[in-house]
């Protein structure tokens, strides 16, 4: 009996040795670290924590938010781009990965150093005047700007609103007086006080005042009509190839494990379709704009090309 038992045991060992391998563990085996390139409490951080809350039930493991602020997002962007590509470190990106790569060629990230998971929020740029300005369309605004130099607000050189104004100047052949303000509230006060002629900002910042008649939006810098401003024409519809938006999406380092990338995209899709998540983002005044995988990559590459073309003709720094 002992000999028979030994023979059977040796046969089993031999079988495993000939290629019968144990099954691989299914991703994820542990919590996923989600990098936020900004300090706690900001809009990206709020969105990240809300997403993590819902993602856990679809992922099966927690998503742990790790804030890595500094250098206008560069520290966090770098941490995501250079992480191990096993699916356990992902993070939030925006157009900063594009503008920083253009103005700072020494940074270790660009559109091409990430695998795109999903975009969740896009807040399109919008150019507005006061409700009683007498200007009713973008073409009327351009015509007025050709007669006299108009003043337009933005929130900082290199930001999405600043670059939208720069692109408009180039496309329309006008020159505007671009003035930076510390936030949307300050810019609105200056506009209503007659100190500037127009404000360039984002839809979420202007929709309430526009609905009340205090602001008159002239154009939304998007290919798609803004859900919160359905009657405002897009730049594309008016013949202007200008894209400007504050987008917030999730990416991982280039070359991620296919199983992990597929799972993360699946989780993002499920979260984005969760009715409670959708309602939470409405309460947070965050316009959902879901783009998964390649669609998100195409969107980012379009922005990258537009900003690089702009930089070549009119460097902003």
pLDDT, tens only, 21-68:
445 579 999 999 999 999 999 889 999 999 999 999 999 999 999 999
Average pLDDT, the chain: 91
Phi then psi for residue 129, to 5 deg, are -120, 180
Look at residue 201 and tell me whether its pLDDT is greater than 60: yes
Supply the pLDDT for residue 247: 92
Q: With b meaning 16 or more CB within 10 Å and e meaning fewer, what string describes 277-303?
A: beebbeeeebbebbbbbeebbebbeeb
Supply the pLDDT for residue 155: 83
Mean pLDDT of 220-227: 92
User: What band does 288 get if pLDDT is binned at 50, 70 and 90?
Assistant: very high
Supply the pLDDT for residue 16: 45
Supply the pLDDT for residue 8: 46
- State the DSSP code for 111: G
Supply the pLDDT for residue 133: 95
Q: Within 13 A of 85's CA, how many CA atoms are on the CB side?
A: 15
pTM (2 decimals)?
0.82
Supply the pLDDT for residue 24: 57
């Amino acid at each position: 009996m002992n000999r028979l038992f030994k023979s059977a045991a040796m046969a089993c060992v031999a079988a495993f040795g000939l290629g019968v391998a144990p099954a691989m563990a299914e991703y994820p085996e542990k919590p996923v670290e989600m990098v936020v390139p900004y300090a706690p409490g900001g809009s990206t951080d709020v969105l990240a924590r809300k997403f993590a809350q819902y993602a856990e039930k679809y992922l099966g493991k927690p998503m742990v938010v790790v804030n890595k602020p500094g250098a206008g997002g560069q520290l966090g962007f770098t941490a995501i781009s250079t992480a191990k590509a096993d699916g356990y470190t992902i993070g939030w990106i925006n157009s900063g990965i594009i503008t920083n790569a253009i103005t700072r060629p020494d940074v270790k990230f660009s559109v091409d150093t990430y695998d795109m998971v999903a975009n969740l929020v896009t807040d399109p740029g919008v150019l507005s005047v006061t409700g009683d300005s007498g200007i009713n369309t973008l073409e009327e605004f351009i015509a007025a700007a050709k007669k006299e130099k108009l003043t337009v607000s933005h929130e900082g050189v290199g930001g999405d609103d600043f670059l939208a104004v720069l692109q408009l100047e180039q496309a329309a052949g006008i020159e505007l007086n671009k003035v930076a303000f510390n936030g949307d509230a300050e810019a609105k006060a200056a506009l209503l006080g007659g100190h500037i002629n127009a404000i360039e900002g984002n839809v979420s910042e202007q929709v309430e005042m526009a609905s009340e008649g205090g602001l008159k939006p002239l154009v939304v810098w998007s290919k798609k009509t803004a859900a919160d401003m359905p009657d405002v024409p897009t730049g594309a519809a008016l013949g202007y190839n200008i894209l400007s938006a504050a987008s917030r999406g999730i990416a991982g380092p280039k070359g991620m494990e296919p199983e992990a990338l597929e799972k993360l995209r699946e989780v993002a899709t499920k979260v984005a379709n969760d009715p409670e998540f959708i309602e939470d983002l409405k309460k947070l005044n965050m316009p959902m704009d879901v783009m998964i995988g390649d669609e998100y990559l195409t969107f980012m590459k379009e922005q990258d090309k537009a900003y690089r073309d702009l930089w070549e003709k009119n460097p902003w720094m």
